[in-house]
Homo-oligomer: A and B are copies of this chain.
Amino acid sequence: MKPLGPIPSGYEAIDGVLAVGGRPVTQWVEQAGGTPLFVYSADLVRARVTQLRAALPGRVALHYAVKANPFVPLLELMAGLVDGFDIASGGELEIVRGAGLPLGKVSFAGPGKRDAELQAGIAAGVTLNLESEGEAARALAIGDRLGVVPRLAVRVNPSFDLKGSGMKMGGGAKPFGVDAERVPALVREVIAAGAEWRGFHIFAGSQALGAEAIAETQEQALALAARLAEESGAALPHCNLGGGLGIPYFPGDTPLDLALVGERLAACMADLPPVLQETEFCIELGRYLVGEAGVYLARIVDRKVSHGEVFLVTDGGLHHQLAASGNFGTVVRRNYPSAIATRFGAEAEEEASIVGCLCTPLDKLADKGGFPRAEVGDLIAVFCAGAYGASASPAHFLGQGPALEMLV
């Protein structure tokens, strides 16, 4: 039997059925009209924001990285909870615009912004996090042409990375941002060209569970911001310190010590160098805000035994949960937390694999886990499905289609 990842806190059973938002998921499935279904809990998102607000110094604003989950009702919920939004494409600009979010609180990072995206961003008044000198020149030219002063920040490629992070976004040669030593010259150029100077975006990595590593990275980011601001000779209006706060997915993972991160960051804020005294700070979180608040539900279509092994074949699969299937940036496949949702909390009785409906051996949601005995018609749940699930999976593979989604 292979271990399963840890089920996040906040999930309980009602009459033996997994409950989200105070109701058994069977009711949500009925209301949504079927499976596969992503259910996102507004309560769990709110609780996470409350935790963050309590732990982090008040001076540090909270931004939501739309890429983690662009479901519009979730964005509308977020509008009342966070202080800003970060987008990664012109498509996400249209999504946040459609959701009625305040575009003045939006920043746009992404290494391959097309001219049309720069133009849309400048016209909308979002802050562009410049990824290169070439992008700066294009943005300035487009601003001139539109007769709009562009709001420009510089994304810095820091010389450090976030230790233990699932994805390193800094440290050495990267396609993201501008190498630190070239930043001051670019800042002076952008300001001289008449842009509205918006500051730095420093993102060193994501999905780290080590509080010490995150704190150290934030300290390094602050020191780098101070040095680059000094060298630029310009006050720093804003500084996005990045994110990187991870959630436990796999067996053995433990939750981040948020209190430690908050204490260390508060100590920094209490002792800022003069050049950062007036700076507004934010951290940008996606996965940490919504990842654990989402559950993916699929129905068992077949229960099969092959050479003595049990396969629970569902109507879901990697076309909605690519990362959970172990096929998205993973070297060694490990099990996400999962359960039989309609027998939630029951003792494990057998070893079974939960697979999807796709005709490929890649389509596995849980490999040889311990579960209560499940039958055709039971629902399975994959947890940690609130981020990088629906939008990060090949929904149309093998003629399938997107899952249903609901915020409850």
Binding site for B on A (CB under 8 A): 66-67, 70, 87-95, 109-114, 131-132, 134-135, 157, 167-169, 172-176, 179, 301-304, 306-309, 311, 313-315, 317, 322, 327-329, 331, 353, 355-362, 376, 391-401
Contact of A175 among B132, B353, B401 (CB under 8 A): B353
Q: How far is the CA of A179 from the CA of B311 in the complex (A)?
A: 13
Number of copies of this chain in the oligomer?
2
Report, nearest first, the 4 A-B pairs whose CB atoms are least far apart: A112-B357, A91-B399, A92-B399, A173-B309
B301–A95 CB distance below 8 A: no
From the candidates B92, B175, B304, B355, name the one contacting A304 in the complex (CB within 8 A).
B175
A113, B301: Cβ atoms under 8 Å? yes
Give the residues in chain B near A396, CB-CB below 8 Å. 91, 391, 395
Beyond the given pairs A67-B398, A114-B357, 6 more chain A to chain B contacts, judged by CB atoms under 8 angstroms and listed by A's residue number, are A70-B399, A89-B357, A95-B399, A114-B315, A132-B313, A328-B328
Contact of A398 among B88, B134, B394 (CB under 8 A): B88
Q: Is the interface of A mostly helix, strand, loop or mixed?
A: loop
Q: Which of B95, B157, B329, B358 contacts A306 (CB 8 A)?
A: B157
Chain B positions within 8 Å of A353 at CB level: 175
Some 19 contacts from A to B, beta carbons below 8 A apart, are A88-B399, A91-B401, A92-B399, A112-B301, A112-B314, A112-B355, A131-B302, A134-B303, A135-B302, A167-B362, A173-B307, A173-B308, A174-B361, A175-B353, A176-B361, A179-B307, A328-B362, A393-B394, A394-B394
B376 touches A134 (CB 8 A): yes
